[in-house]
Amino acid sequence: MSEYIGHLINGEIHSDKSQTQAVYNPATGAVCANVCMASQETVAMAISSAKQAYPAWRNTPPAMRAQVMYRFKQRLEENQDIICELISREHGKVLSDAKGELARGIENVEFACGIPELLKGEHSRNVGRDIDAWSELQPLGVVAGITPFNFPAMVPLWMWPSAIMCGNTFVLKPSERDPSCVLYIAKLAEEAGLPKGVLNVIHGGADVVNQLIDDDTIQAVSFVGSTPIAETIYKRASEKGKRCQALGGAKNHAVIMPDADLDNVANALMGAAYGSCGQRCMAISVAVAIGDKVADALIDKLKPQVEALKVGPGSDDRNEMGPLITSAQRDKVSQFVAQAIEQGAEVIVDGRELVIAGHESGFFIGGTLFDKVTPDMDIYQQEVFGPVLVVVRVDSLEEAVALINRHEYGNGTCIFTRDGQASRYFSDQVMVGMVGINVPLPVPVSYHSFGGWKRSLFGDLHAYGPDSVRFYTRRKAISQRWPSGEVKDGTLFSFPSL
Ligand code: NAD
């Protein structure tokens, strides 16, 4: 690993060191590399590289683009151990979790291999005499993607494989907090035969993102990150007349019905709330218990499991949960916990004092569990993005659905029940984009698109899957006439019709 993490522009690593930022190993708290933050000139170079690569790539037959993708998928699989080590080192998640993330990313590459099928368009012969008509899906041009820290391999793979399979070229700006695996993966794509300039990777913060949005060459912007930034980016891109999809934050509720198998529920909630240290946009952070009996029994089952969570560096696969991404995030989560206690929530397990022997400077915090949280509390209203699960007590399923529907976020949710009627009512009425029925993390597979409702997504189309082809292409309708023999029609002033 080089000391400086550079940009990938036109197939070359470009290290502009005018401004750099430390990248930490969250398990040790030590700086493991420095990432170059792109200057205006560097951003312009990346856009220009994508622009130059576009005409040839657009005209490359889709089946040949797919050949690159097949080889790329193979390279990802062959190098998964290296990729997962890079993820774990800079993000902190345990290696088995990193493998899960990468596998879901590879699924998106598999989907992208089949995109030629979805680019076929529609054709009608003889829509009028001697006239054939068809519509085709054309690429947009140069498009940009901005991704968050929490899935450094998977979320970029949601975007650029589909985008380039549709014939676009791409400028990717990954999170500056864990940029190494993205760069490594981009190099694997080049080894698989991706022409230089089709995928460019640049690092940076708000300035770089704004420059990408504002540049006239960039035709569309995909963003995944926190809601305030998603909203700002969506607005800025829309004002520029650009297509944009901006996926934001979440507060995902799990509803536990009285007929649910509580042992299964507790196991499912442990993984969904504390996996990846709660740093998933689909993490369950609220358990809505229907009735006090369910809530009491659930707390009894969860408490010993939260206390027994194996927390430690992600490089040791015996651990179930790694650290948070930064010390600032650890402090923020601690403040949420303190505030919830002040506001009257009952703390069942408090993870704030956890110290990992040998990793005292790591950004660790223990699993935390609250009971009797109410909707007016900050810990209920806001996305904490840490290993904190809160139990909210309600009296009925209708009350649970109304509670969820009042929340500003609508990313994911789930219900645990044996009752088909209840689950049908729930999935029909709940104002959330992704619903699980006895499935705690209902992240759609790659051939179904991913997206939340309300303030969890700004834009019309969801990410990856079939919606990604709609997002990354523009439809064109063409009518064609090749009259046989002499043209005999006179001038037609009326609107053409049959
Ligand atoms: P973030 O919003 O801080 O950063 C996301 C990206 O935006 C990064 O590349 C960052 O460099 C860039 N950025 C930061 N500040 C910016 C600014 N002022 N203007 C423009 N760009 C800026 O998010 P994060 O902390 O990296 O990731 C966690 C967040 O992402 C959580 O809110 C989580 O719910 C959300 N997320 C959502 C989904 C989803 O699919 N809905 C998926 C993963 C993560």
State percent of the chain over pLDDT 90.
Answer: 95
Residue 190 pLDDT exceeds 90: yes
Determine, yes or no, domain membership for 495. no
Determine, yes or no, domain membership for 448. no
Residue 7 pLDDT exceeds 80: yes
Q: What is the DSSP letter of 275?
A: G
Query: Distance from the CA of 350 to the center of ligand 1, in angstroms?
Result: 27
Q: Which residue has the tokens 């879901």?
A: 104
| Distance set, CA 264 to CA 260, 290, 349, 401, 417 (Å) | 8, 16, 20, 22, 11
87 and 58 both lie in a single domain: yes
Q: Indicate the angle between helix axes 292-307 and 262-274, nearest 10 degrees.
A: 50
Is-contact 325 92, C-beta < 8 A?
A: yes
**DSSP states of 150-209 as a string?**
SSTTHHHHHHHHHHHHTT-EEEEE--TTS-HHHHHHHHHHHHTTPPTTSEEE---SHHHH
pLDDT the model gives residue 385: 98
243 and 307 both lie in a single domain: no
Rounded to two decimals, what is the model's pTM? 0.96
Tell which one of 229, 235, 251, 326 to mutate to probe ligand 1, the residue whose CB is within 8 A of the most ligand atoms: 229
Q: Which of 381, 410, 437 is the last residue of a domain?
A: 437
CA angle 276, 381, 442 (to 5 degrees): 45
Residues 6+ apart with CB under 8 A from 98: 83, 84, 85, 87, 88, 91, 153, 314
Using 50, 70 and 90 to split pLDDT, how confident is the model at 339? very high
Determine, yes or no, domain membership for 242. yes
| Residue-averaged pLDDT of the chain | 96
- Mean pLDDT computed over 60-89: 98
Is-contact 116 142, C-beta < 8 A?
A: no
Per-residue pLDDT tens digits for 124-169: 999 998 899 999 999 999 999 999 999 999 999 999 999 999 999 9
196 and 268 both lie in a single domain: no
Using 50, 70 and 90 to split pLDDT, how confident is the model at 490? confident
Per-residue pLDDT tens digits for 346-380: 999 999 999 999 999 999 999 999 999 999 999 99
Determine, yes or no, domain membership for 498. no
Determine, yes or no, domain membership for 238. yes
3-state secondary structure of 247: strand
- Mean pLDDT computed over 469-495: 86
Is 281 catalytic? The answer is yes
Token output for 141? 């041009």
Q: Whose CA is nearest to atom 36 of ligand 1?
A: 225
- Mean pLDDT computed over 408-418: 98
Using 50, 70 and 90 to split pLDDT, how confident is the model at 317? confident
Determine, yes or no, domain membership for 187. yes
Which residues' Cβ are closer than 6 Å to ligand 1? 146-151, 155, 173, 175-176, 205-206, 209, 224-226, 229, 233, 247-250, 281, 383, 385, 411, 452, 456
Query: Distance from the CA of 249 to the center of ligand 1, in angstroms?
Result: 8
The count of domains in the chain is 2
Least confident stretch, 131-140, 322-331, 477-486: 477-486
Q: How far apart are the C-alpha atoms of 322 and 326, rounded to whole Å?
A: 12
Per-residue pLDDT tens digits for 220-266: 999 999 999 999 999 999 999 999 999 999 999 999 999 999 999 99
Query: Distance from the CA of 147 to the center of ligand 1, in angstroms?
Result: 6
217 and 259 both lie in a single domain: no
3-state secondary structure string, 361-403? CCCCCCCEEEECCCCCCHHHHCCCCCCEEEEEEECCHHHHHHH
User: Looking at residue 60, which CATH number applies to its domain?
Assistant: 3.40.605.10
- Give just the sign of the alpha carbon dihedral 83, 85, 89, 94: positive
- Mean pLDDT computed over 96-114: 98
94 and 234 both lie in a single domain: yes
Rounded to whole angstroms, the maximal C-alpha distance in the chain is 90
Q: Which atom of ligand 1 is nearest to the CA of 281?
A: 34
197 and 233 both lie in a single domain: yes
User: Looking at residue 403, which CATH number applies to its domain?
Assistant: 3.40.309.10
395 and 461 both lie in a single domain: no
- Mean pLDDT computed over 95-106: 97
| Distance set, CA 28 to CA 88, 93, 98 (Å) | 12, 13, 18
Structural domain that includes position 300: 252-437
212 and 137 both lie in a single domain: yes
158 and 129 both lie in a single domain: yes
Using 50, 70 and 90 to split pLDDT, how confident is the model at 62? very high
Q: How far apart are the C-alpha atoms of 243 and 348, rounded to whole Å?
A: 46
Q: Which of 181, 244, 281, 414 is catalytic?
A: 281
- Mean pLDDT computed over 195-200: 98
Q: What is the DSSP letter of 276?
A: G
Helix (H) or strand (E) holding 347: strand 346-349
269 and 123 both lie in a single domain: no
pLDDT the model gives residue 486: 66
Q: Which atom of ligand 1 is nearest to the CA of 249?
A: 34
pLDDT the model gives residue 1: 46
Query: Distance from the CA of 179 to the center of ligand 1, in angstroms?
Result: 14
pLDDT the model gives residue 140: 98
Q: Answer with the residue of higher pLDDT: 431 or 496.
A: 431
